[in-house]
Amino acid sequence: MTQEAEAARLYLVTPASLDPETHLAALAPMLATGAVACLRLDLGEGPGEDAWIRAANHLIGPCHQADVALVIAEHHRLVRPLGLDGVHLGRSRATIRELRKTLGRDAIIGAFGGAERHRAMSLAEAGADYVSLGPVRVRGALGDGAAAGDELFDWWSEMIETPCVAEGGVTLDDARRLGARADFVVPDPALIWDSPDPAAALRGFADALRGA
């Protein structure tokens, strides 16, 4: 997952309620826009491993046909057996250095750094391919209540070479600001997947990143 400095791209996250068979109809036109760099499969903490495997098997074909990387949240042991592109670490206790030995140099290993500089920087130093910063907007009791402000993204772009992902409640207005600050932006999944026309909603975010 590579990135030109001046051209932020979209990073999609699936809804926890993902039903691969019904959501595939919405996913195909979204991937066809060419605006998506990566899709993260994230079913939350409830479903068992079988549900993750079923979902991944439905998603990998369309993603790879569209040249979109498919990463899985937390379940790093499924990356190689399922032929996925990598893993996103948030709650997992696995370390980046351990996973690099297991998954190899070509696997994408991303990690959630939150809104705190030291934590995020330590993940970059450990070899993460990207570090996710957020939430951009705090909703309810999400995390520790800290939000990732524009100054964090400005500091990151000036000081750290590792690509950063902006996520957590990102709206169209947020995308317009973050397009010049982050390398990748995760739209609030509800604003995409719950839209009557997900592909149109996605194109709106792509336009926002370009400042349109």
pLDDT tens per residue across span 25-72: 899 999 999 999 999 999 999 899 999 999 999 999 999 999 999 999
Assign 51 to helix, strand or coil.
helix
Residue 173: count other Cβ atoms within 10 Å of its Cβ. Answer: 10
| Alpha-carbon torsion, ordered 120, 210, 71, 26, to 10 deg | 140
The DSSP code for 112 is: E
Q: Within 10 Å of residue 190's Cβ, how many Cβ atoms?
A: 10
- Three-state secondary-structure class, residue 116: coil
Could you tell me if 40 and 11 are in contact, meaning their C-beta atoms sit under 8 angstroms apart? Answer: yes
Measured in whole angstroms, the distance separating CA 109 from the mean position of its chain's CA atoms is 11
Q: If pLDDT is split at 50, 70 and 90, which confidence band does 3 have?
A: very low
Q: Kindly state the helix (H) or strand (E) to which residue 21 belongs, with its residue range.
A: helix 20-32
Q: Is the dihedral of CA 187, 52, 86, 98 positive or negative?
A: positive
What mean pLDDT value characterizes the chain?
Answer: 92
* Average pLDDT for 85-114: 95
Tokens, residue 47:
């479903």
- Residue 32: predicted pLDDT: 93
Question: Which tokens hold the place of 171?
Answer: 């709206």
Residue 1 to residues 4, 17, 61, 133: CA-CA distances in angstroms? Answer: 11, 26, 17, 17
Q: Which class would CATH give 9-209?
A: alpha beta
pLDDT tens per residue, range 154-179: 999 999 999 999 999 999 999 999 99
Q: Say how far apart CA 34 and CA 12 lie, in whole Å.
A: 12
For position 140, what pLDDT does the model report?
55
Three-state secondary-structure class, residue 125:
helix
- Interacting residues of 118 by C-beta distance below 8 A, sequence separation 6+: none
Global pTM reads: 0.93
Q: Cis before residue 198, ω within 30 degrees of 0?
A: no
